[in-house]
Amino acid sequence: MTAHSFSLPKANGAAGVLSGPLPVQVSDVTFRYAGSQALALENVSLSVLPRERLGILGPNGGGKSTLLKVMLGLLPAPVGSTVRLFGESPLAARRSGKVGYVPQRSEAESSFPLSVRQVITLAASWRLAPWQRPGAELRARIDSLIELVGVREVADRPIGALSGGQMQRTLIARALAPQPRLLVLDEPTVGIDAVGQAQFAELLTSVHRTLDLTVLIVSHDLRAIAAGCDRVACLSRRLHSHTSPQGLTPQVLAELFSHDVAGLIGREQLGGMHVHAHGPDECCPAPAETLRSSDDRGEGRGGAQVP
């Protein structure tokens, strides 16, 4: 499989139909950390359409976090590359509140003495002048977000008292509070149980439908990607593949995850299968099963069709 860029379907002229700049446009990113010999990213190009839901799937150490940081301007864009969010530099897009971000749950201080409502409000109110209090419009928006993500019952509880799923919903509401146009989720299903993951998929679909956002999910977990994405980009240093979730063949997954696949889907589920040598006619039951389970929940994203 050769590396290639992941861009707009130019043949049908989609770019011409869409007005305004693309939510995400990344071209020719090759990144190496200082002091490291190995490339973290190699010649990665990626575009995301307005209102699209794109999943970036890849193994641990495959460069997902690096790409995310470059994309958001948290790492400097390498010389010769282009990184634009809504036609602006990532810094300008972040400063103008166009980007909402849901971190891995473990990165926020779960013991912090803030209530759910305070956490969500803070994301929208931190730009206010110190002497200004959140106005009625802002408070109404926060209330509707609390309602949308389903944390009304716990809205005034300290965040330390929340379950993993409730905390994730709170962080999603926080990301939406500044009214972003792009929602970025980093490993959203880490530490969430099966029920929470099903609810997450439902919530993401509901948020996407209600707020008409562009959504970008970065994960090593197939379930997170399959449950809520229109397209999938597979990243392991290079961008290996791009497809709809239905097009994630066992061959693609086996090549993408190589040694990581056993850890990803569980050795017991692998059942002794050799993941390196999948041909197009072989099946990889665990990912297919995983994807099918999301389909059974009525997410409408389809399962991985075993060739």
- The smaller minimum CB distance to other proteins, of residues 77 and 253, is found at 77
Q: Which stretch binds other proteins (CB under 8 A): 30-38, 47-55, 189-197, 255-263?
A: 30-38
- The smaller minimum CB distance to other proteins, of residues 9 and 132, is found at 132
Query: Per-residue DSSP letters for the chain?
Result: -----B---GGGTHHHHS-S--SEEEEEEEE--TT-SS-SEEEEEEEE-TT-EEEEE--TTSSHHHHHHHHTTSSPPPTT-EEEBTTB-HHHHHHTT-EEEE--GGGS-TT-S-BHHHHHHHHHHTTS-TT----HHHHHHHHHHHHHHT-GGGTTSBGGG--HHHHHHHHHHHHHTT--SEEEEESTTTT--HHHHHHHHHHHHHHHHHH--EEEEEES-HHHHHHH-SEEEEEESEEEEEE-GGG--HHHHHHHHGGGHHHHH-HHHHTT--STT--TT---HHHHHHHHHHHHTT-SS------
133 binds other proteins (CB under 8 A): no
- The smaller minimum CB distance to other proteins, of residues 96 and 244, is found at 96
78 binds other proteins (CB under 8 A): no
108 binds other proteins (CB under 8 A): yes
Which residue in 1, 14, 161, 194 binds other proteins (CB under 8 A)?
Answer: 161
Q: Which stretch binds other proteins (CB under 8 A): 108-116, 145-153, 209-217, 275-283?
A: 108-116
- The smaller minimum CB distance to other proteins, of residues 99 and 204, is found at 99
Distance in Å, CB of 218 to other proteins, minimum: 13
119 binds other proteins (CB under 8 A): yes
107 binds other proteins (CB under 8 A): yes
74 binds other proteins (CB under 8 A): yes
- The smaller minimum CB distance to other proteins, of residues 8 and 108, is found at 108
- The smaller minimum CB distance to other proteins, of residues 110 and 244, is found at 110
34 binds other proteins (CB under 8 A): yes
Query: Per-residue DSSP letters for 169-200?
Result: HHHHHHHHTT--SEEEEESTTTT--HHHHHHH
76 binds other proteins (CB under 8 A): no
Which residue in 15, 82, 95, 179 binds other proteins (CB under 8 A)?
Answer: 95
- The smaller minimum CB distance to other proteins, of residues 90 and 287, is found at 90
137 binds other proteins (CB under 8 A): no
Q: b or e along 234-270 (b: 16 or more beta carbons within 10 Å of the residue's beta carbon)?
A: bbbbbbbbbeebeebbbbbbbbbbeebbbebbeeeeb
Q: Which stretch binds other proteins (CB under 8 A): 15-23, 124-132, 259-267, 271-279?
A: 124-132
Q: How far is CA 226 from the centre of its chain?
A: 11
33 binds other proteins (CB under 8 A): yes
Q: Which of residues 177-216 bind other proteins (CB under 8 A)?
A: 178, 184
Distance in Å, CB of 147 to other proteins, minimum: 22
- The set of residues, in sequence order, having a beta carbon less than 8 Å from that of 147 and lying 6+ positions away, is none
Binding site for other proteins (CB under 8 A): 33-36, 72, 74, 94-97, 99-101, 103, 107-109, 111-115, 118-119, 122-123, 125-128, 130, 158, 160-161, 178, 184
